[in-house]
Amino acid sequence: MAMLSAHFFSLFLLLVVKVATGSGDPILSCSQTPYPQVCSSMVSGVPLFAQSETQSGFRDLLLQATLDRTLLAHKHASAMNLAPLDEPAKAAWADCLELFEDTIGHLNRSLGHSSSAEDAQTWLSAAMANQQTCKNGFTDLGTSFPFTASLFMANNISESLSNSLAVNNAMPRGKAPGNRRLLSQGFPGWVKAADRKLLQSSSSTIKANLAVAKDGSGDYKTISEAVAASAKLRSGTSRFVILVKSGIYNENVVITNSMKNIMMIGDGIDATVVTGSKNVQDGSTTFRSATFAVSVQGSFKTYLGRPWQKYSRTVFMKTSLNSLIDPAGWLAWSGSFGLSTLYYGEYMNTGAGADTSKRVTWPGYHVITSSSEASKFTVGSFLSGNSWIPATGVPFSSGL
């Protein structure tokens, strides 16, 4: 059974920002942030600024100020005159508006009382990536960012988010928050009883709200049609199940912010296949090129990664790499872009594709030989996995 529980998440998060475990001195003033002047301009006039003497108080104050700035930037962005823009620039700008809405959502989540410091770091990292993704859309389509001198850019959103990340990262990390506690059935506390029963059921016993079938035997012939219909047919926020019957679905499926708690059930691997072909060369931004799955057949070579962002970070550890991996291992994105600022690493991999003797010689590429260096990228260290994965019931190894 192929099962995808689709709470909307950031598929476009290609800039990896480490979810740190919190260390160093607490940040209690703007002078300690990466952009002190931006910080001061945001909070110095806030009535509660003088009262924000605690670490958590200063963090919340700065996050709220960043949210206010982002809301103002979104207002300016929505009011921009797009008439002078060509079609590629309008398409890229549409991405920016959606990304700003997503950033507002991430900031609201970070301010939520149920959000831990680790959660907030994830949301803020995603929000930070959104700003660069907005600009990258214009580069993808060969056009320039049109509003560099506008009020929209004067809000210093990227700098504000950098400050928020730094302050949040310095917050102390404690035990996993209460909403992650395990129940006797092995599910975290926020999973409702009805959802637990649904997730424990087999595909044959789950009653779908809608069925998709290429041959017309279902409610709809495409997944996108079913997803759009779900927004009108569902009531409340309960789980909405869509059964996708066997077939190859050539489409790019988009799950928006308003489409929560959607579960996709397929007929199994190689039976239900979703494939898409949007790409920059054909006029799509990278942000719009995501799809559920891509089926590739035939003989080909592939790479471990490409530096789409300046500080791209990818590490393969103790992984079986077969002969499909090109001997060079890694592929440049555009000339020398990012090759000295990225961090790509390989540690104790096996298989025909694991030979590093012919790998790229970029300054940022590393054949990791130290276990202490490799341990920085383990589930326990890099993802703070011990604080949340046990609640999911998924088997995992915390360390090397």
- In the chain, the domains with their CATH numbers are 2-7+196-289 (no CATH), 30-169 (1.20.140.40), 313-392 (no CATH)
In a 3-state reduction of DSSP, which class is residue 147?
Answer: coil
The region of weakest confidence among 40-54, 85-99, 339-353 is: 40-54
Question: Of all residues in the chain, what percent carry a pLDDT higher than 90?
Answer: 18
Q: Which of 96, 110, 119 minimizes the C-alpha distance to 164? A: 110
Q: Which of 311, 308, 309, 314 minimizes the C-alpha distance to 341? A: 311
> Is there a contact between 118 and 61 (Cβ–Cβ < 8 Å)?
no
Residue given tokens 């799955």 in the structure block: 293
Residues 6+ apart with CB under 8 A from 99: 12, 130, 131, 133, 134, 287
Residues in a beta bridge with 317: 347
What is the Cα–Cα distance from 345 to 364, expressed in whole angstroms? 8
> Is there a contact between 314 and 344 (Cβ–Cβ < 8 Å)?
yes
Residues in a beta bridge with 6: 262
Where does the pLDDT of residue 148 fall: very low under 50, low under 70, confident under 90, or very high at 90 and above?
low
pLDDT of residue 16: 30
Better-predicted residue by pLDDT, 177 or 335: 335
The DSSP bridge pattern shows strands 240-244 and 210-212 to be: parallel
Q: What would the mean pLDDT of 153-167 be, rounded to a whole number?
A: 85
What is the Cα–Cα distance from 114 to 164, expressed in whole angstroms? 18
Q: Which of 186, 243, 197 minimizes the C-alpha distance to 219? A: 243
> Is there a contact between 344 and 330 (Cβ–Cβ < 8 Å)?
yes
Q: Which two tokens stand for residue 260?
A: 């929560």
In a 3-state reduction of DSSP, which class is residue 392?
Answer: helix
Residue given tokens 């003797």 in the structure block: 357
User: Does the pLDDT of residue 205 top 80, yes or no?
Assistant: no
User: Does the pLDDT of residue 145 top 80, yes or no?
Assistant: no
User: Does the pLDDT of residue 204 top 80, yes or no?
Assistant: no
User: Does the pLDDT of residue 152 top 70, yes or no?
Assistant: no
User: Does the pLDDT of residue 6 top 50, yes or no?
Assistant: no
Q: Which two tokens stand for residue 345?
A: 């690493």
What is the Cα–Cα distance from 317 to 304, expressed in whole angstroms? 12
Residue given tokens 């210093």 in the structure block: 156
Q: What would the mean pLDDT of 271-285 be, rounded to a whole number?
A: 77
Q: Which two tokens stand for residue 179?
A: 């909403």
Q: Which of 316, 319, 294 minimizes the C-alpha distance to 305? A: 316
Tell me, what amino acid is at 267? D
Q: Is 298 left (phi over 0), alpha (psi -120 to 50) or beta?
A: left
pLDDT of residue 118: 77
Measured between alpha carbons, how far apart are the two ends of the chain, in Å?
Answer: 30
Where does the pLDDT of residue 174 fall: very low under 50, low under 70, confident under 90, or very high at 90 and above?
low
Where does the pLDDT of residue 23 fall: very low under 50, low under 70, confident under 90, or very high at 90 and above?
very low
The region of weakest confidence among 102-111, 133-142, 259-268 is: 259-268
Buried b (16+ CB within 10 A) or exposed e, 353-391: bbeeeebbebebbbebeeeeebbebbebbbbbbebbbbb
CB atoms within 10 A of CB 50: 8
CB atoms within 10 A of CB 316: 21
Largest CA distance in the chain: 66
Where does the pLDDT of residue 277 fall: very low under 50, low under 70, confident under 90, or very high at 90 and above?
confident
Q: What would the mean pLDDT of 113-139 be, rounded to a whole number?
A: 82
User: Does the pLDDT of residue 18 top 90, yes or no?
Assistant: no
What is the Cα–Cα distance from 310 to 260, expressed in whole angstroms? 32
pLDDT of residue 21: 36
